[in-house]
């Protein structure tokens, strides 16, 4: 029996080498039989994987941002270590044993919660995207970007764990006159936003977990506000105080920025919702296709108004569109992965994606956005993104 087994393995090895030779390829060498690395207390990625966040240009290291490498990711979840960052005064080092959340204002019972007390309350885990309102801002005044990350990397998607804000508001007893609440962070600038009270009763969270572990410091450790589907700056990090009020307070970060100046001189304010958007991540700028033939087009779509119901892809500059496949799970207010099989003929072309969400809203062209809002805005750009593929397979931003 042992001799038969050895004969079989030698024959299999010989036949494999013959097949490789017939294909014009050399059979791979046997790897050395060496012991692998020992078990580690905290997992690390392979040193052969060089995926990293891109640090955005900034005048000071504290008021800065980093961008998620969307073109290098698979699926819908962003690893915590690659979630984009945006800070106004750096990352504070907070001790969860000393950090507290105060809820006061127009409430019957003002309360202070420790982090441990928050973790004792009923919790939920939900998958949501977070997107900076300044993401894709170059779409207003097109400037070709070197990668999907550089132009659109201020969005990420995680599994967030925390206490529904509605649970806390029931504990304190919000008074009927309470129409808004102010969320304030513990960073040096005391980042502050006014939020309509309806969001608290809907799906707002006080989150302490991300992707199965504690929040990273740059994501608000030990607790942050999470407002699903709304612009990222409103999901205040390092949350320390919530005050229930009867009207917005017109804080610095909701008046001096995060507003959209319209052509008639008026400003759109409190435009919290991040509208439907899609992006082809493979192939995208900075990448290169191999030989003509079969390729899979892949990307992400998301909407603050709910679930994505349709993604269409054009491989001929918008002349025709084909329905892409939405990969499960397709969740409301979360990144959705889409794919489309495509046979490239080797000719130069332009590819693009557009999505529709469950409200019926269709992602617009840049021309449609400009016709409605003019060119004074610096936020909330969800225009269709086009990538150009050259005959040699290189992919560039088709912005003009």
pLDDT in tens, 42-70: 988 888 888 888 887 666 777 889 999 99
Domain covering 61-268 in this structure, CATH number:
3.90.420.10
Whether the pLDDT of residue 365 is over 50: the answer is yes
Rounded CA separation 72/52 (Å): 9
pLDDT class of 1 with cuts at 50, 70, 90: very low
Of 5-9, 120-124, 169-173, the one with minimum mean pLDDT is 5-9
From residue 381, give the alpha-carbon distance in Å to each of 78, 84, 157, 188, 337: 22, 18, 19, 29, 20
pLDDT in tens, 162-192: 999 999 999 999 999 999 999 999 999 999 9
Arithmetic mean of pLDDT, 287-314: 97
Give percent above pLDDT 90 in the chain.
77
CATH top-level class of 277-397: mainly beta
In this prediction the pTM is: 0.90
Rounded CA separation 130/335 (Å): 9
pLDDT in tens, 127-159: 999 999 999 999 998 899 999 999 999 999 999
Alpha helices in the chain, H assignment, sequence order: 2-22, 115-120, 148-152, 165-172, 197-202, 366-373
Whether the pLDDT of residue 32 is over 80: the answer is no
DSSP state letters, 86-120: E-SS------TTT-EEEEEESBSS-EEEEHHHHHH
Q: What's the pLDDT score for residue 23?
A: 46
Rounded CA separation 383/297 (Å): 19
Rounded mean pLDDT of the chain? Answer: 91
Q: Which residue in this structure is represented by tokens 């332009």?
A: 350
Q: Where in the chain is the domain with CATH 2.60.40.650?
A: 277-397
Q: Where in the chain is the domain with CATH 3.90.420.10?
A: 61-268
**DSSP symbol at 27:** P
Q: What's the pLDDT score for residue 22?
A: 44
**DSSP symbol at 273:** B
Whether the pLDDT of residue 37 is over 50: the answer is yes
């Amino acid at each position: 029996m042992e001799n038969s087994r050895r004969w079989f393995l030698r024959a299999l090895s010989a036949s494999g080498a013959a097949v490789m030779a017939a294909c014009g390829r050399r059979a791979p060498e046997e790897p050395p039989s060496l012991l692998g690395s020992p078990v580690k207390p905290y997992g690390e990625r392979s040193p052969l994987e060089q995926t990293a966040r891109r640090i955005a240009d900034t005048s000071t290291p504290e008021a800065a941002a980093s961008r998620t490498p969307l073109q290098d990711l698979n699926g819908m979840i962003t690893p915590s270590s690659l979630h984009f960052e945006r800070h106004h005064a750096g990352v504070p080092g907070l001790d969860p044993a000393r950090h507290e959340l105060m809820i006061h204002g127009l409430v019957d019972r003002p309360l202070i919660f420790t982090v441990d007390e928050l973790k004792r309350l009923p919790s939920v885990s939900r998958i949501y995207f977070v997107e900076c309102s300044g993401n894709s801002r170059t779409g207003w005044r097109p400037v070709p970007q070197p990668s999907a990350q550089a132009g659109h990397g201020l969005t990420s998607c995680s599994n967030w764990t925390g206490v529904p804000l509605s649970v806390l508001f029931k504990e304190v007893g919000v008074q009927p006159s309470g129409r808004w609440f102010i969320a304030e962070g513990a960073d040096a600038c005391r980042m502050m936003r006014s939020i309509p009270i309806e969001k608290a009763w809907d799906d707002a969270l006080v989150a302490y977990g991300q992707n199965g572990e504690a929040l990273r410091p740059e994501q608000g450790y030990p607790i942050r506000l999470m407002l699903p589907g709304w612009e990222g700056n409103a999901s205040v990090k390092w949350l320390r105080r919530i005050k229930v009020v009867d009207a917005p307070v017109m804080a610095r970060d909701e008046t001096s920025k995060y507003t959209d100046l319209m052509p008639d001189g008026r400003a759109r304010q409190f435009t919290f919702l991040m509208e439907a958007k899609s992006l082809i991540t493979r192939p995208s700028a900075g990448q290169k296709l191999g030989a003509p033939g079969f390729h899979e087009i892949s990307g992400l779509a998301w909407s603050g108004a709910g679930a994505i119901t349709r993604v269409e892809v054009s491989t001929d500059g918008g002349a025709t569109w084909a329905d892409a496949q939405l990969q499960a799970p397709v969740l409301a207010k979360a990144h959705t992965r889409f794919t489309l099989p495509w046979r490239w003929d080797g000719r130069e072309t332009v590819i693009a994606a557009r999505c529709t969400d469950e409200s019926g809203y269709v992602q617009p062209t840049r021309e449609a956005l400009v016709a409605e809002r003019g060119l004074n805005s610096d936020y909330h750009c969800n225009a269709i993104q086009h990538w150009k593929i050259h005959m040699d397979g290189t992919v560039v931003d088709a912005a003009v």
